[in-house]
């Protein structure tokens, strides 16, 4: 085989191959013969080095032109083992795949072009605002004062007195990472690590030539004020974005975004939020529940609302006041206000008032198991005082009913008293019953 064709044969390409074809051929051959992929092949390392040497020559236009004219000349551009001085095929392999389209699925080599592009934008910054239910009901404009990290305006983020003061790290050749290879029998273990000389930056600056303003840090602090408007009806987790207002990170061309997260309580005063609806519990007296209920309350936006209801209200009855709930972010319709009534009964009642209530209140409906007075037979039951049932003291209530011969017939309901009851019909209501 002619020495002028040897390197082309190693990469399995023709002498008329273009630069792109040479790169593709090298990537294919390097992956094929890489020692990590061929742990049981003792010749994999030497073959991998041959592929790297071939690409080092054919991938450089000047070297390729000289090789096409004169071929490989013994003793020239070679070091130990026939490799150029300082040549490391693993370094070239890492450099090629870090900036040449990536190595999807190859262990240890996952720094591809997409990741490099992601580094061009600094990470987003998040801030949480804790608000009250009143704030998110009416909407609120909140001023945010923050300290932002920006690029040093004197050195333009280089960290040096001038660009000429920046030197490429000789240890990693500006890559910021180095590959360490450990021979373990017929296997070669590789690991990629940050370069300790330049601390992974790939560039170095003499401390005496640092920027006088940022002292080589490349950044500076700036106090900034932002006005953040929280829309009415915002829910916990609502995010407000300020483009490009995150901190700047060295070697990134753009700043990330500032993300304002809204966190608000769901309860305040007499209100509790459920979705776009508001729940309010209202205690009223027994008299109000039976006659007419009128009360006032102060809404979350400061308005005083008057509620009037002329019909009988039962315990735990729910009523809806339309469009008095939370505003909606998606449309112009508000949620509803749901009022749950709790009727407060008196602790005691005078006997005279009890007799009066017996005459005016409706007679309870008879049930099939209720005994009729005519068929009642007196039973010998000891007369004990009935006490209030306490769940914590006893699981079973104990009381003795009154003997039937002790009941005064005048105290019983009669049809005449029932017919004399006043008309209890109500008037037009101002809120709907659920």
Domains in the chain, please, with CATH? 6-118 (1.10.287.110), 125-264 (2.60.260.20), 267-344 (2.60.260.20)
Give the strand pairing for 337-344 and 277-285.
parallel
User: What residues pair up with 340 in beta bridges, in sequence order?
Assistant: 281, 318
pLDDT number for residue 392: 52
What is the pLDDT at residue 431? 53
DSSP characters over 208-268: GGB-TTTTT--EEEEEEEEEEEEPTT--TT-EEEETT-S---TT-SB---EEEEEEE-SEE
CA distances from 31 to 24, 35, 97, 131 (A): 11, 9, 10, 57
Kindly report the number of other CB atoms within 10 A of residue 233's CB atom.
Answer: 20
pLDDT in tens, the chain (434 residues): 456 678 888 888 988 889 889 988 888 888 888 777 777 777 878 888 888 888 888 888 888 888 887 776 444 443 333 444 445 666 666 666 554 433 333 333 343 433 444 457 899 999 999 999 999 999 999 999 999 999 999 998 889 988 888 888 888 888 888 877 766 666 767 777 888 888 888 888 888 999 999 999 999 999 999 999 999 999 999 999 999 999 999 878 889 999 999 999 899 999 999 999 999 999 999 999 998 899 999 999 999 999 999 899 999 999 999 999 999 988 788 999 999 999 999 988 898 888 888 888 877 777 776 665 554 455 444 444 444 555 555 444 443 343 334 434 444 344 444 344 333 333 333 555 55
Question: pTM value?
Answer: 0.56
Report the alpha-carbon distance of residue 188 to residue 93 in Å, rounded: 15
At 28 the pLDDT is 87
Quick one: how far is CA 352 from the chain centroid?
65
Q: Could you tell me the two tokens for 343?
A: 């009727």
Alpha-carbon dihedral of residues 310, 311, 312, 314, nearest 10 degrees? -100
At residue 77, the pLDDT reads 44
Residues present in the chain in total: 434
Q: In what order do the strands lie in the sheet with 267-268?
A: 267-268, 271-274, 277-285, 337-344, 318-321, 432-433
On whether the CB atoms of residues 196 and 222 are closer than 8 A, the answer is: no
Alpha carbon distance 89, 227 (integer Å): 55
Give Cα separations from 405 to 128, 320, 382, 387, 411 (angstroms).
Answer: 74, 50, 13, 22, 13
Yes or no: say if 66 and 102 are a contact pair by the CB < 8 Å rule: no
pLDDT, residue 299, reads: 95
What is the reported pLDDT for 226?
94
Between CA 312 and CA 289 the distance in angstroms is 5
Are 320 and 336 within 8 A, CB to CB?
yes
Residue with tokens 């916990």: 236
For residues 113 and 96, give the distance between their C-alpha atoms in angstroms, rounded to a whole number.
Answer: 11
> At residue 406, what are phi and psi to the nearest 5 degrees?
-90, -5
Nearest to 294 by CA among 318, 311, 275, 274: 311
**What pLDDT shows up at residue 406?**
43
The closest of 38, 69, 43, 64 to 53, measured between CA atoms, is: 64
Are 309 and 251 in contact by the 8 Å Cβ rule? The answer is: no
Is residue 245 within 8 Å of 148, Cβ to Cβ?
Answer: yes
* Dihedral sign (CA 194, 219, 118, 59): negative
Backbone dihedral region of 244: left (phi > 0), alpha (psi from -120 to 50 degrees) or beta? left
**Cβ density class 286-304: b for 16+ within 10 Å, e for less:** eebbbeebeeebebbeeee
């Amino acid at each position: 085989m002619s020495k002028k064709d040897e390197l082309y044969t190693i990469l399995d390409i023709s002498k008329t191959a273009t630069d792109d074809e040479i790169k593709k051929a090298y990537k294919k051959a390097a992956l094929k013969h890489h020692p990590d992929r061929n742990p049981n092949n003792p010749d994999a390392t030497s073959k991998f080095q041959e592929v790297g040497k071939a690409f080092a020559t054919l991938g450089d236009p000047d070297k390729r032109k000289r090789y096409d004219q004169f071929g490989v000349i013994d003793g020239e551009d070679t070091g130990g083992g026939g490799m150029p001085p300082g040549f490391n095929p693993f370094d070239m392999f890492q450099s090629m795949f870090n900036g040449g389209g990536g190595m999807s699925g190859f262990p240890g080599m996952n720094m591809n072009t997409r990741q490099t592009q992601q580094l061009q934008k600094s990470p987003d910054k998040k801030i949480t605002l804790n608000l009250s239910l009143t704030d998110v009901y009416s909407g609120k404009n909140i001023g945010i004062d923050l300290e932002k990290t920006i690029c040093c305006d004197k050195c333009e983020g280089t960290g040096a007195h001038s660009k000429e003061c920046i030197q490429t790290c000789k240890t990693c050749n500006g890559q910021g990472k180095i590959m360490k290879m450990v021979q373990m029998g017929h296997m070669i273990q590789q690991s990629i690590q940050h370069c300790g000389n330049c601390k992974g930056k790939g560039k170095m600056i003499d401390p005496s030539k640092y920027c006088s303003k940022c002292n080589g840090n490349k950044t500076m602090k700036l106090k900034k004020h932002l006005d953040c408007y929280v829309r009415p009806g915002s829910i916990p987790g609502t995010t407000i974005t300020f483009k490009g207002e995150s901190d700047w990170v060295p070697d990134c061309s753009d700043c990330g975004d500032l993300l304002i997260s809204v966190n608000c309580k769901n309860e305040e005063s007499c209100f509790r939020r459920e979705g776009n609806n508001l729940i309010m519990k209202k205690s009223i007296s027994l008299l109000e529940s039976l006659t007419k209920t009128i009360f006032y309350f102060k809404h979350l936006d400061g308005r005083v609302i008057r509620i009037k209801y002329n019909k009988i209200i039962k315990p735990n009855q729910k009523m809806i006041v339309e469009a008095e709930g939370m505003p909606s972010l998606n449309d112009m319709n508000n949620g509803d206000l749901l009022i749950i009534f709790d009727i407060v009964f008196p602790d005691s009642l005078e006997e005279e008032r009890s007799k009066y209530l017996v005459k005016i209140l409706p007679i309870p409906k008879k049930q099939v198991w209720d005994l009729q007075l005519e068929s009642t037979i007196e039973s010998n039951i000891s007369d004990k005082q009935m006490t209030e049932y306490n769940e914590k003291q006893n699981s079973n209530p104990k009381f003795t009913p009154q003997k039937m011969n002790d009941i005064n017939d005048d105290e019983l309901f009669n049809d005449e008293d029932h017919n004399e009851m006043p008309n209890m019909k109500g008037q037009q209501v101002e809120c709907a019953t659920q």
